[in-house]
Amino acid sequence: MRALLFLLLPGCLLADEPARPADPDEAAYPAIERFVQVLEQVRQRHPDVEKVTYDRLVNHALEGMLSSLDPFSSFIHPEMALALKDHPDLDPFLPSLGVTLGVRDDGPYIANVQPASPASRAHLLAGSAILAVNGGPPPALPALIASLKRAPGETTRLQLKSPASPQPVDVELVHMAVEDRTVTEATLTDDGKTGYIRLASFMGSCAREMEAALDELEDKGMKRLILDLRGNPGGDLHQTVQILGLFLPPGTPVVTTRGRGGEVLGEPLKTPDKQRRKRDYPINVLIDRMSASAAELTAGALQDLERAVIIGETSYGKGSVQNIIPQGGGTALRLTIATYHTPSGNTPHRKGITPDIAVEFDDAIREKVQLSHRRKSLTPDEAKLLEGWQDPALEAALKTAN
């Protein structure tokens, strides 16, 4: 299971004594009896005998139960556990597509979909079986993962059987660039006083990159900042807190973890005790519907503490904590066990962060925003699409700054 741990945000917590379910104990018996009755009816009557073993039926029932809870909980089948045991260095996450692959008795499937990715933009659903890849049957998981590591701009065609549809669907995904740096742009705008920084994710050494970019812009005369978190899928929670410490007073509580019933789990995460530079200039934060997780907590904390004006769309809505819990039979659960909350007690989970200034985006604008985020690698045809175009969210931020 070690290869799956990279999916977890640091600081995942599990309450020692989880609260009891809302329904009484006696409700369990008729529910379990109903499950057993259905199980036996399926075993006795379904014509595909190879599909009605107890292990298979129960494992698929567990998969359905976990996926019904939220988009981030899932059941890890024994086939996946075995694949990871045989290939301990296997990483089932494909960042250029934004999917985590799994394998079960009927073959490979999409275990999770990352926000702000080609897969999420194509509305792929976790639990979808992979029936074909580029017109052919999918190979074993290690070979499948290797074949799907492709260059930015290349396409992959998948045939999927979605849990939401009885018919297979064909999807074409364009691989996105996976940026090595988290700060992908840091510049002064034309007025010479407004800084613009795009933070692509909260992974790696993003807090150091962010501080270095701020230092450089401040030394050049920056008096206000536009922080672009559009399309940012989140990442390391502790890096998030370090970045918030660049703009908020030392020791400020910024993130709280709450379990069932709103119970606070552990101490709130606070900004570092020391701050090298005081940064009290105005800040605008740009978000969109693909800003998720740590990006939402950052925007939410700065909004709650009246440290920034948030501009754009309501964000994705990922503010939960997952834990991997081993089970019997070589299976495991990836289970949501808590939610993250900003200083006001608000959580972005399932509802996102609402901007202070809303900016409407259509698909054409979204495409141009994505192109603008990689101006240095555009093809001539792509560059033409941006000729004379003004980013509406950036324009709104510049008007607010002035």
Tell me which residues are annotated as active site.
Answer: 293, 304, 318
* Residue 221 token pair: 């005369």
CA gap 246, 193 in Å, rounded: 19
* Residue 65 token pair: 């139960």
CA gap 321, 301 in Å, rounded: 17
For the chain, how far is it from start to end, CA to CA, in angstroms?
Answer: 52
**Backbone phi, then psi, for 104, in 5-degree steps?**
-135, -170
Q: Which helix (H) or strand (E) holds 277?
A: none
242: left (phi over 0), alpha (psi -120 to 50) or beta: alpha
Q: Do 341 and 321 touch, CB atoms closer than 8 A?
A: no
CA gap 400, 88 in Å, rounded: 51
Strand partners of residue 199? 183
The DSSP letter of residue 260 is G
The DSSP letter of residue 242 is H
Which strands sit side by side in the sheet containing 283-287, from one edge to the other?
183-188, 194-199, 224-228, 283-287, 309-312, 357-358
Amino acid sitting at position 383: A
CA gap 230, 286 in Å, rounded: 6
